[in-house]
A = this chain, B = another copy of it.
Amino acid sequence: MAKRKSSPTMKDVAREANVAVGTVSKVINGIPVGKEYRLRVEEAIRKLNYRVNIYAQGMRSERTRIIQVVVPNLLNPFFAMLVHYTANELARRKYKTMLCTTDGDPDLEQSHILMAEQQMADGIICLSYSPSLRAPEGIPMVSIDRYFGARIPCVSSDNYGGGHLAAEKLMENGCRRLAFLRIGTSLASETNKRKDGFVSACEEHGVPYTLKLADDGTPYSVFEEFLREHARGGTLDFDGIFCVTDALACRIRTILQDMGFRVPEDVQIVGFDGVRDFGNMALPCSTIVQPLERIAETCVDLVLDGCLEKAPSLVCLPVSYAYGGTTRA
């Protein structure tokens, strides 16, 4: 009589691989075992065509071990690096990364959050500038650079300290008339504290400063007009400029060089972020470096911890200054 063929079980895999059932379970759940054991289990899984069926697993556990990571895009290297370190940290904890790029579309951001609520993910790490974003219910969420309220911990660099440090470094390098240039959201996001820290340092030291704040979507020509207005008679009204991002700092350097000014001899520039050319090469400008790996780790800690009621509402991580050619030191 022919034996009825049924779906293989974890026990069948263990017998085939000549290992304990617990070893099979570990391999399936991505928990490290000796390489030889892993290869034997994998071989047995293939031979028996064993299928775990994550759905059945998920039905039992009500967990997916998936975290949604929501960012505007990966074209901006700052976002790309942040997602890189977050995905690595999640993988280290045996979690999977569901990547959601939104191009900043609030509807798309909201639909990703709705998806998570529908048991698609165990939590969300979100970098959003949407003013109306509704937080998920029943799912932990951690926000980067944007404070949504006490229920949602926000992780960011010490933006205030970074702005303060940028002004101090420019002054240490001999600058006596400073400017701060910003393009970005006018929302009360964490990044706006860069300006506040900068202003505070200028006022502490009695150094005059000028602010030029442009909203997202403004063409960069507004900065060129601003600089030309402040360069009548051939000398620039400032000898030190702090830009809200490295991307802006690099643009401003090009504009100034096209106007005939030397960087850093005539005017020094400090950016913010600490992104590197090609991810691992030179800094494109002197900058305030964000601790991206620590930001990623902290977000993962908080979202996996789950007890977000007890979590701090804001975690600011320390920044540092790095020389990158657009200042004297």
Q: Which residues of A contact B (CB under 8 A)?
A: 28, 30, 35, 42, 45-46, 51-56, 58-59, 64, 66, 69, 73-77, 80-81, 83-84, 87-88, 91, 96-101, 103, 107-108, 110-111, 114-115, 117-120, 137, 246-247, 250-251, 254, 275, 277-282, 284
Give the residue of B73, B111, B250 whose beta carbon is less than 8 angstroms from that of A279. B73
B119–A76 touching, CB < 8 Å: no
- With A and B bound together, what is the CA distance between A90 and B30 in angstroms? 26
Say which residue of B77, B99, B281 sits within 8 Å of A83 (CB atoms): B99
Contact check: which of B75, B101, B118, B278 meets A91 at CB < 8 Å? B101
- The answer to whether B119 touches A42, judged by C-beta atoms less than 8 angstroms apart, is no
How far is the CB of A136 from the nearest CB of chain B, in Å?
10
Known pairs A54-B64, A91-B101; list 20 more (Cβ under 8 Å): A51-B117, A53-B59, A53-B118, A53-B119, A54-B119, A56-B59, A58-B58, A76-B280, A80-B84, A84-B101, A87-B100, A87-B101, A88-B101, A88-B103, A96-B98, A97-B98, A97-B99, A97-B100, A98-B99, A246-B278
Counting every copy of the chain, the complex holds: 2
Q: Which 3 A-B pairs have the closest CB atoms?
A: A75-B279, A80-B80, A74-B84
**Contact residues in B for A247 (Cβ distance below 8 Å):** 277-278, 281
CB distance from A217 to the nearest CB of B (A): 13
Distance between A252 CB and nearest chain B CB, rounded to angstroms: 12
Given contacts A88-B101, A279-B75, contact A55 B52 (CB under 8 A): no
Q: Which residues of B contact A284 (CB under 8 A)?
A: 277
21 contacts between A and B (CB under 8 A): A28-B118, A42-B110, A42-B114, A46-B137, A51-B117, A52-B119, A53-B119, A54-B64, A55-B58, A55-B119, A66-B98, A75-B80, A75-B84, A75-B279, A80-B84, A87-B100, A96-B115, A97-B99, A99-B99, A275-B278, A277-B277
Q: How far is A254 from B76 in the complex, measured between Cα atoms in Å?
A: 24
Residues in B with CB closer than 8 Å to A110 are: 42
Q: Which residues of B contact A74 (CB under 8 A)?
A: 74, 80-81, 83-84, 87, 279
- Chain B residues near A137 (CB, 8 Å)? 46
CA distance A125 to B120 in the complex (A): 21
Give the CA-CA distance A87 to B73 in the complex, in Å.
10
- Chain B residues closer than 8 Å to A51, beta-carbon distance: 117-119
Contact A278 B97, beta carbon cutoff 8 Å: no
- Chain B residues with Cβ under 8 A from A58's Cβ? 54-55, 58
- Report A3 CB to chain B, min CB distance, Å: 24
Tell me the minimal C-beta distance from A126 to chain B in angstroms. 15
Residues on B with beta carbons closer than 8 Å to the beta carbon of A59:
53, 55-56, 59
Q: Which residue of B lies closest to A275 (CB)?
A: B278
Which of A111, A119, A137, A277: most chain B Cβ within 10 A?
A277
